[in-house]
Amino acid sequence: MKYTSLFLVIFTLAMFSNGCTPKSSVSPESSSSKETLESSPKPKPDQNDLAPTPKSTKAEIIEKPKEQSFEGDPPLQVLKGHSGVVWSVVFSPDGSGIASGGADGSIKIWDQSGSEAWSLQGHTAAVKSVAFSADSKTLLSGSYDKTIRIWDVQSRELLETFDWHTEYVNCVAFSPDGKQIVSGSTDKTIQVWNVDGAPEREWIEKVKGTVWSVMFSPDGKTILSGSTVHQFELGMNVNCWNAKSGALGFYAKHGATVFGVAYSPDGKTIASASDSKVISLRSLSDQSVRLKGELEGHLKSVTSVVFSPDGKSVASGSYDGSIKCWDTETGRAIKTFNGNSGMVFSVAYSPDGKIIASGNQDGTIKLWDAQLTGH
């Protein structure tokens, strides 16, 4: 037996030295199945979230280059004056200043040098949203005190107070001609009023969740809204309404709460920022909507989104404390600012597109250089 075992060992070594190897334990059938699985295309995600259905959720987004990161770069300027969170920030269309609304219940107007020009007092709770009229002469504000107020910017006079909502007012906007205002609330309504003369409500619509963002289209014919989506209710939380009648034009199923919506300057693209950390871009044409692409890069909920004046870029702010600039054609993140110690709740472009303002958790407004090298 000893000699037999020794012979088997010698024979086996000789076989290996001559290049022979044992047969694989994987059967031809198993190998073929594995190859088939690896070569088969991955199933496409369900894209039935729009009418009509988009062809691709990643359309027009191509290989991303290395983005510019400005984590160590300080902002151009830091504006201090609020004693709590800055919920909303916006540039005046004429470029003469900035308005901000804060958790301290105040509205502040800042001049071109960044100095606080004056503070508007009147709300009795946090000011969640501020918006200028197109001529920069009046300012609209919405508050947790459930009221909406219209102010004369130059005289600082309170012109009107409306208390038509039953819960927090989260968002307000002027129509391009200044004759209408729209508001959205925790009471799950969107309301439109004619303020050209004696204020008169034109329509009210009830939606399924809290309304967080509203905006008129550049031509004033439609209104875009973003709202909360509840469990088991997949969407209708990005809606487009007829500004005159309140009729629903189209809707998109975002799949997560939408905190911010925006029209591009030409009105052909809309953006929505959501709790899913994603910004969705959708193109509009002939009463139809198509998913153009999804911008991914934020680590937490995206709270605010805005188009640059030329429509070539989108800026976004997030709970992760960052501000990102995106190329609207390619979907590339081309610039990121990480110089905030807390959450970002609002972002706005200056009229010339050179500066981005952010409203921050630490009570500051920070101004950032929005000019994109090589863009």
Q: pLDDT 10s per residue in the chain (375 long)? A: 433 343 333 334 344 344 433 333 333 233 333 322 222 233 333 333 333 333 333 334 433 444 555 454 689 999 999 999 999 999 999 999 999 999 999 999 999 888 888 899 999 999 999 999 999 999 999 999 999 999 999 999 999 999 989 999 999 999 999 999 999 999 999 999 999 888 888 999 999 899 999 999 999 999 999 999 765 555 578 999 999 999 998 888 777 899 999 999 999 999 999 999 999 999 998 767 899 999 999 999 999 999 999 999 999 999 999 999 999 999 999 999 998 889 999 999 999 999 999 999 999 999 999 986 644
**pLDDT at residue number 287:** 66
Element (H or E) spanning 251, and its range? strand 248-252
Question: Under CATH, which number does the domain 76-369 receive?
Answer: 2.130.10.10
* 304 HSE (CA, 13 A, CB side): 30
What does pTM read for this prediction?
0.80
Domain ranges of the chain: 76-369
Task: Provide the strand spans (E) within 86-163.
Answer: 86-91, 97-102, 107-111, 116-120, 127-132, 138-143, 148-152, 158-162
Q: Is the peptide bond before 52 cis (omega within 30 degrees of 0)?
A: yes
**pLDDT value for 231:** 55
Nearest to 264 by CA among 284, 246, 245, 249: 284
Which tokens hold the place of 107? 């509205």
Element (H, E) at 29: helix 28-39
- Helix, strand or coil, per DSSP, at residue 254: coil
Q: What is the pLDDT of residue 233?
A: 58
Q: Specify the pLDDT at position 116.
A: 87
Q: Does residue 256 contact residue 303 with C-beta atoms inside 8 Å? A: no
Give the residue carrying structure tokens 């550049």: 218
